[in-house]
Structure 1
Amino acid sequence: MTSSTAPTSASIASSATAAPALHCVPIALDQRSYDIHIGPGLLDSAQSWQGLPKAACALIVSNEVVAPLYLERLRLQLAAHYRRVEFVQLPDGESHKDWASLNLVFDHLLAQAADRKTVLFALGGGVIGDMTGFAASIYMRGVPFVQVPTTLLAQVDSSVGGKTAINHPLGKNMIGAFYQPERVVADLDTLDTLPQRELAAGLAEVIKYGPIADAEFLAWIEANLDALLARDKRALAYAVKRCCEIKAWVVGQDEREQGLRAILNFGHTFGHAIETGMGYGAWLHGEAVGCGMVLAADLSVRKGLMPPEFLPRLRRLIERAGLPVQAPRLGAERYLELMRVDKKAEAGEIRFVLIESLGRAGMHGAPDELVAAVLSDHCG
């Protein structure tokens, strides 16, 4: 399986120099279709919340970090649409992406006698979005939910496409469901309060879209990385829009990851092994993915798919973004053991998303010895 060419945008060069605008990227999934709204000021705009599912009650799910910043602003907007606007606060961090935290959502829903029309709103980053979506998928066999991502990683990737999950001690995101939101509202102003480490983690997911689907976008990222790191709104608006366009194109063709959608996991096979092996939360997801892309790029070169110069080019970009490029020393056998639990593995064979040409990716196996050699050269 390989990727075909993603549709290109009208003008990459001019998009980042124009003033930030409001964008709407559609996800075409027949009856499950929805829009991704992107731009500044969306949280406080009444237009962002028009046409929401009708219900008596809404439940905002957030965490102890994001809620003090944005909860009341979202609650104020939702109060115009729902008789009751409830709130449940979850602990922050990947280490809490588990059944115990998920049950806090169900405890609140059941205590409030929430019915099957209740709408859940995920206010936060990828962890909150994944858990809220999973809760929505199984409460009363499915209630509507809306993604309100407040991190760069969530805005460009995890809030889009309907993947929901919690972690298991033996594997990341191994318990979950495909369940699409009703809408995604990505307010770029929420990135102003994002810690720099979290911004860098989000840039890993931005970077991945270039090698897998759009060589021009990769060059644009290289040219505009300093602006992204400085949180230039014009650059961020274009990056979020372009990433969502590519993901919408992929998900529209392969919603349940039976083929093409797997290319979105470039760097993730190695990255998930790092996260699980180090303990959830020791490395941020984007940090692990950034490092994982370096390893996957090396494997792409060693298998003869890419020229040697691809590896230092990608490594240099990931390092400039403030992301680690040396993997932790877990030992080759431990890495291989963890990667055999990866969702893309087939009959115990580890499958990697590798780059076949700039803007094109595919699934490939690799001998354990070759993978071990890659790890040996990149574990610091």
Structure 2
Amino acid sequence: MTAPLKTSDAITVDVALGDRAYDIIIGRDVLGSLGERIAALRPGARTAIITDRNVARHWLERTEAALARAGIASSRIIVEEGEGSKGYAGLEKVSEALIAAKIERNDLVVALGGGVVGDLAGFAAAILRRGVDFVQVPTTLLAQVDSSVGGKTGINSPQGKNLIGAFHQPVLVVADTAVLDTLPLRQFRAGYAEVAKYGVLGDAAFFGWLEANHADIVKGGPAREHAIATSCRAKAAIVARDERETGDRALLNLGHTFGHALEATTGFSDRLFHGEGVAIGMVLAAEFSASLGMIAPSDAARIERHLAEVGLPTHLQDIAGFAQEGLADADALMALMAQDKKVRRGKLTFILLEAIGRAVIARDVDAALVRDFLGARLAGDK
């Protein structure tokens, strides 16, 4: 793993999807260039900015100013923060507001926010007038390294996370690392889980680099841009090979089958942020892999140790309200995992590990083995 580049220049990562290719622009204070970049991409386009109340307080006026400097008209649509907005009611509100703003097919939707805003705005753009282009301006670490890249958009169903959605690629991603300075530490850590995921699933050297440099990433030193760019390159390469998740892209769901079930059980609430669910899910995936003899127990312990050092939850018992009905019920968790998008004809699919840096897609996993494993973990057994 190479050392971080000591430069103030923006980093550009290309997502190579032929005539739908787009750039990810990464760097400090790149938000100010948003208007000129959009003007170059879509001359004459009008925009509607979708954001949540918290992000609006910090970054909405600066975003509007960047657009205005380039002569781009904009309207604003503000939703409540949190997963509660990412449902049918939230989609209706945003869609009707876009229609009222007279956003046409040659205009642009701008998603200014974290993963919730990006997924909701992207899905609304995908279905508005049968498809309007959109730009991602991710304001959380999780969104910058994961949800803003690759075109997955959608909303939650009461029966599970992201079960209603569409593949709809953005035309541009502008990831300003300065906006992360206003992010609460817990949310930053939650995003870090997705950074670590790229090392765990496919880049052992990057994982080792993260073990040595995670403190600088949190503090906002040069390691931050390097970690974000490396993560984006890893995801872009997988998306270019498998845009619609018919093969390798499923590897990006490492930790998510367990994690999504935990999020659903906690009501998609701030009891468990998405990245926290992924962190626990990665540890469970590693431990389950070890129980099957696929990965050395020492590697599973190393993954758990690193995530814990960053301050992430790593055990089911770390979740707030763990003893509440449902969360400590292996059968209830199994029922939720049966709704996972990777399920094929009722058969469970998991992303498991053969080593740090080598994940595999395991199809037709024996549900009884998973249930017994979860039962033991819920009881606190190793």
Instruction: Indicate which of 3, 8, 12 corresponds to 1:24.
Output: 12
Q: Cα deviations across residues 101-146 of structure 1 (Å, max 9, x unaligned)?
A: 1122222222233222121000000000001100110000001100
Greater RCO, CA 8 A, separation 6+: 1
CA contact (8 A) 1:58 1:82 kept: no
CA contact (8 A) 1:58 1:121 kept: yes
Alignment of 1:256 with 2:254, yes or no, is: no
User: Which aligned pairs between 1:45-194 and structure 2 lie closer than 5 A?
Assistant: 45=33, 48-81=37-70, 84-194=73-183
Query: What is residue 378 of structure 1 aligned with on the other side?
Result: 377
* Alpha-carbon distance in 2 for matches of 1:318, 1:168: 29
Alignment of 1:235 with 2:233, yes or no, is: no
CA contact (8 A) 1:146 1:183 kept: yes
* Alpha-carbon distance in 2 for matches of 1:121, 1:156: 18
Listed as ranges, the gaps of 5+ residues in structure 2 are 317-321
* Alpha-carbon distance in 1 for matches of 2:36, 2:108: 18
* Alpha-carbon distance in 2 for matches of 1:35, 1:135: 21
**Residue 56 of structure 1: CA displacement?**
4.4
Report which stretch shifted further, 48-57 or 267-276: 48-57
Q: Cα deviations across residues 54-96 of structure 1 (Å, max 9, x unaligned)?
A: 3442100001000111111111121244553100001100122
User: Which aligned pairs between 1:230-309 and structure 2 lie closer than 5 A?
Assistant: 230-232=219-221, 234-281=222-269, 282-309=271-298
CA contact (8 A) 1:61 1:123 kept: yes
Change (3 A) 1:54 1:323: same
CA contact (8 A) 2:149 2:173 kept: yes
Query: What is residue 25 of structure 2 aligned with on the other side?
Result: 37
**Residue 19 of structure 1: CA displacement?**
3.9
- SS at the partner of 1:305? coil
Alignment of 1:204 with 2:193, yes or no, is: yes
* Alpha-carbon distance in 2 for matches of 1:303, 1:359: 18
Change (3 A) 1:78 1:363: same
Instruction: Indicate which of 337, 340, 346 corresponds to 2:338.
Output: 340
Alignment of 1:350 with 2:348, yes or no, is: yes
Q: What root-mean-square deviation, in Å, do the aligned CA atoms of Structure 1 and Structure 2 show? A: 1.5
* Alpha-carbon distance in 1 for matches of 2:2, 2:241: 28
- SS at the partner of 1:65? helix
Change (3 A) 1:317 1:371: same
TM-score, normalising length: structure 1 = 0.93
- SS at the partner of 1:15? coil
**Number of equivalent positions:** 367
Q: Cα deviations across residues 322-344 of structure 1 (Å, max 9, x unaligned)?
A: 11111144311111111010000
**Residue 307 of structure 1: CA displacement?**
1.0
**Residue 361 of structure 1: CA displacement?**
1.4
* Alpha-carbon distance in 2 for matches of 1:167, 1:82: 36
**Residue 359 of structure 1: CA displacement?**
1.8
TM-score, normalising length: structure 2 = 0.93
* Alpha-carbon distance in 2 for matches of 1:15, 1:33: 26
**Residue 52 of structure 1: CA displacement?**
2.7
* Alpha-carbon distance in 1 for matches of 2:121, 2:37: 20
* Alpha-carbon distance in 2 for matches of 1:55, 1:88: 20
CA contact (8 A) 1:277 1:330 kept: no
Query: What is residue 9 of structure 1 aligned with on the other side?
Result: none
* Alpha-carbon distance in 1 for matches of 2:44, 2:125: 14
Query: What is residue 4 of structure 1 aligned with on the other side?
Result: none
Change (3 A) 1:241 1:83: closer
* Alpha-carbon distance in 1 for matches of 2:275, 2:346: 26
Q: Partner amino acid for 1:244?
A: C
- SS at the partner of 1:44? helix
**Residue 356 of structure 1: CA displacement?**
1.9
Give percent identity, aligned residues only: 44
**Residue 48 of structure 1: CA displacement?**
4.4
Q: Partner amino acid for 1:193?
A: T
Query: What is residue 330 of structure 1 aligned with on the other side?
Result: 328
* Alpha-carbon distance in 1 for matches of 2:254, 2:9: 30
Q: Partner amino acid for 1:252?
A: A
Change (3 A) 1:159 1:331: same
